[in-house]
Structure 1
Amino acid sequence: MDSDGPFDFSGRAVIVTGGTKGIGAAIAGAFLTAGAQVLVCGRTEPPEPPRCGGRRAHFLSADVRDPQAAGALVDGAVERFGRLDVLVNNAGGSPDADAATVSPRFVEKIVALNLLAPFYVAQAANRVMREQRTGGSVINIGSVSAHTPQPGTAAYSAAKAGLLALTRALALEWAPKVRVNHITTGPVRTGSAASVYGADEGAAVAGVIPMRRMAVPDDVAHACLYLAGGLARYVNGADLAVHGGGEVPARFLAVRDELPGKLPGDPAGGFPGT
Structure 2
Amino acid sequence: MPRSRPRSLVQVAIPLAAALALSGCFSGEATDTGTDDRISVVHMQPPRSGLSPLSDDAFKLSRWSSAETLVTLDGGGDAKPGLATEWERIDALTWRFEIRENVTFHNGEPLTADDVANSLQHAIDATPVPRILDGADLSVGVEGEHGVVITTGKPDPLLPHRLSSPQLAIFDDAAYTESGVNPIGTGTGPFELVDVDGVTAATLDRYDDYWGEPALSAGIDVRFVPDGTARSAALRTGEADIVEAIPAGQAASVDE
TM-score by length of 2: 0.25
Structure with the largest fraction of strand: 2
Structure with the largest fraction of helix: 1
TM-score by length of 1: 0.24
Higher-RCO chain (CA-CA 8 Å, sequence separation at least 6): 2
